[in-house]
Structure 1
Amino acid sequence: MANPNKAKGTSWESAVRDYMNRALGLVDIDGNWRDVFSAYNVRRPAQEGSADVGDVHAVPFILECKNVKSPAVPTFLRQAEVEARNAGFPYGVAVVKVPRQNVRRGKVHFSVRTWTRVRKELGLSSRRTWDRYEFTASLRGLDTSKWYFTTDVEQFTRMVNHIRKGRR
């Protein structure tokens, strides 16, 4: 891969995918799919056409993965939500690498709207969601479109598992 930034991004996407598949029990000890045809496998889709469909698919989420020095989270969230619509998924989130930290400590950012929709799907109060998945808030200024809620990849993976159990 000639572009070093693309290589960093691809490496981060793969690390998130691999961590989630292991944590969700979707692969065996050797990293092989338990069920290669399962829609619940976390995957990096091939990009086709002009409408981007996100970096990682973790039903029901599209993950827009970023490995950058200066995260522009509101911009990443808008991008994730557009890509979720393009892919036909209900939720889009941004997953940002934390330098020198294990993948499970990466930051998963939710727009307020997405967080509220996910919370309602889980049937949880705001406080219960906040506490259960260890969220923090970034509420800068009066423009609520720039507000977002954050957890880490480990807690997010638990949340994905809980949503999936409720959908079965």
Structure 2
Amino acid sequence: MANPAKAKGTAWESALVAYLREHHNPGARRNAQMGRLDIGDIDGYYLHALEAKAEKTITLSSYIAQANREAVHAGQPYGCAIVKRRMKGVADGYVVRDVATDVRLMNRLKDAEEILRSIAPTVYEDFDQRHREAA
């Protein structure tokens, strides 16, 4: 690839897809770029349009604006940027979203857990314990 910055971005996207396939969704994949109606860099991050960034200078505000815009295009409720941490692997990258998006996501999670707890308390207890142990 003639453009080193583009090659770095492509490598980061590929590494993210591999990580997501192993730890989250085996169907995760890179999206084709669609210009002004772009739907994010990676499909398969549950409920999100994902914008992958591997740049020397980090500009969170532009990343979040782009991710939120692309979430609308993709028909996803949430947008986020996953930003490469210099000299670190994928698991050490940063997932970034604005506070409004994060509050909406946490409210959805809270509501879902309350529903599960009311319908199947034992299942909820097992679920809660398993995820607390993973932290």
TM-score over 0.5 for the pair: yes
Any stretches of 5+ residues in structure 1 without a counterpart?
Answer: 27-40, 125-161, 163-168
Q: Which residue of 2 aligns with 1:55?
A: 41
Q: CA deviation at 1:62?
A: 1.1
Q: Aligned pair 1:42/2:14, yes or no?
A: no
- Structure with greater helix share of residues: 2
What secondary structure does 1:74 align onto?
helix
Q: CA deviation at 1:47?
A: 2.0
What secondary structure does 1:123 align onto?
helix
What secondary structure does 1:22 align onto?
helix
User: Max radius of gyration: which structure?
Assistant: 2
What secondary structure does 1:69 align onto?
coil
Q: Which residue of 2 aligns with 1:100?
A: 87
Report the Cα distance in structure 2 between the residues aligned to 1:49 and 1:8, rounded to whole angstroms. Answer: 20
Q: Which amino acid aligns with 1:44?
A: R
Q: Which residue of 2 aligns with 1:3?
A: 3
Q: Name the stretch that deviates more: 49-58 or 6-15.
A: 49-58
Q: Aligned pair 1:23/2:35, yes or no?
A: no
Tell me if the contact between 1:42 and 1:59 (Cα under 8 Å) persists in the aligned partners.
no
Report the Cα distance in structure 2 between the residues aligned to 1:72 and 1:10, rounded to whole angstroms. Answer: 19
Report the Cα distance in structure 1 between the residues aligned to 2:36 and 2:101, rounded to whole angstroms. Answer: 24
Could you list the runs of 4 or more consecutive aligned residues of structure 1 that deviate by over 6 angstroms after TM superposition?
none
Q: CA deviation at 1:50?
A: 3.6
Report the Cα distance in structure 2 between the residues aligned to 1:24 and 1:63, rounded to whole angstroms. Answer: 14
What secondary structure does 1:20 align onto?
helix
Question: How many residue pairs were aligned?
Answer: 111
Any stretches of 5+ residues in structure 2 without a counterpart?
Answer: 112-130
